[in-house]
Amino acid sequence: MTKLGTPPPASDVTPEPLYLRRREFVRNAALFTATSAGAGGSLLWLMSGRRAGKKSSRSKGNPVDLPVARQGTESTNESRTPYRDVTTYNNFYEFGTDKSDPAELAGTLRPRPWTVRVDGEVQKPQVIDLDQLLGWFPLEERVYRMRCVEAWSMVIPWLGFPLGDLLRRVEPTSRAKYVAFTTLFDPEQMPGQQRRVLDWPYVEGLRIDEAMHPLTLLAVGLYGKTLPNQNGAPLRLVVPWKYGFKGIKSIVGIRLVEAQPPTTWNLAAPHEYGFYANVNPAVDHPRWSQATERRIGELRRRPTLPFNGYAEQVAGLYAGMDLREFF
């Protein structure tokens, strides 16, 4: 009959004020958790550059092995920057201004089929298919120091051939005093070009003697494989004694010209980035010192060397020039 049993004694019943306090406690605990999660989450979102919605487009095609015909004699023995760092820490504004953007977003670039137009003051102007170009020159590996104008550096095993070999093949005329390079302009493939952070397309230039110098490389690969998109696939310039921004990426045009060509960073900030941009610890960037650099992977800064340690080979190119004026 008495299924419900007798009611508990009055002394066992939680007093109403305490019962309400318990509910209040649970409510406050929930609100505390929500507040800390909300504040912390918002801060993490702001730290990430507010890019939660940005869609990632990593490269689908993996870099493939390239045949290496010979080891370059100019290679440094310094320890190489790990592949992961070389391919995830990039300045390639065509895919965004954060260092991690190119690795995340360069999947939209199609490095094949690819052609390069070589023209201007040459006897044999031509449009060259990249695979044809690869057949002309044996690839050699060159391990070079790479010094960014932002005062960090890497050691990268590039694969490529001397730019001079290509230039000689198209036979420059006597009026060819400079070489002008152009990056692909295609805002579909290079979404960063949809905003005018820089004056697109990216252009760079070298004096003809710099371009013909045996250290100057047209690179098609690194670490024994084709260039990942974020490193400037399928063809980029490497000038190891100059700041990294001279190494124009994803090249579609090489023109030999009579007058010094415009260069992108020089146009953007002429007092900060010169045409020559030779690595020089004695000439500071207006906003930071160039005396030292951080080698990626190292804790302590190391001194920056004149011409990035290639002075013996290239200092002669600038004999008699005031390198403070021609920075």
Binder of other proteins out of 13, 39, 69, 282 (CB under 8 A): 39
Q: Are 141 and 193 in contact (CB under 8 A)?
A: no
- Smallest Cα–Cα separation from 203: which of 177, 227, 185? 185
Distance CA 257, CA 207 (A): 10
Residue 289 interacts with other proteins (CB under 8 A): yes or no:
yes
The least CB distance from residue 50 to other proteins, in Å, is 8
Task: Give the residue with the Cβ less far from other proteins, 198 or 212.
Answer: 198
Task: Give the residue with the Cβ less far from other proteins, 13 or 31.
Answer: 31
Binder of other proteins out of 1, 287, 322, 325 (CB under 8 A): 287
Q: How many residues bind other proteins (CB under 8 A)?
A: 47
**Residue 271 identity (one-letter amino acid):** H
Residue 43 interacts with other proteins (CB under 8 A): yes or no:
yes
Task: Give the residue with the Cβ less far from other proteins, 43 or 69.
Answer: 43
Residue 300 interacts with other proteins (CB under 8 A): yes or no:
yes
**DSSP-derived 3-state class of residue 288:** strand
Distance CA 203, CA 257 (A): 13
Q: Tokens 């036979």 correspond to what residue?
A: 171
Residue 97 interacts with other proteins (CB under 8 A): yes or no:
yes
4 to 33, contacts with other proteins by CB under 8 A?
A: 28-29, 31-33
The least CB distance from residue 308 to other proteins, in Å, is 18
Structure tokens at 310: 């290639």
114 to 143, contacts with other proteins by CB under 8 A?
A: none
Residue 176 neighbours by CB under 8 Å, 6+ apart: 120, 121, 122, 208, 256, 257, 258
> Left, alpha or beta for 310 (phi > 0: left; psi -120 to 50: alpha)?
alpha
Q: Are 159 and 220 in contact (CB under 8 A)?
A: yes
Residue 271 interacts with other proteins (CB under 8 A): yes or no:
no
Task: Give the residue with the Cβ less far from other proteins, 267 or 321.
Answer: 267
Structure tokens at 100: 């991690």
Distance CA 301, CA 3 (A): 81
Binder of other proteins out of 224, 301, 306, 317 (CB under 8 A): 301
Distance CA 235, CA 163 (A): 11
Q: How many residues does the chain have?
A: 327
Residue 80 interacts with other proteins (CB under 8 A): yes or no:
no
Task: Give the residue with the Cβ less far from other proteins, 93 or 276.
Answer: 93
Name the residues that contact other proteins, by CB under 8 A.
28-29, 31-44, 46-47, 49, 81, 84-85, 88-89, 93, 97, 99-100, 150, 152, 197-198, 268-269, 284, 286-289, 291-292, 294, 296-297, 299-301
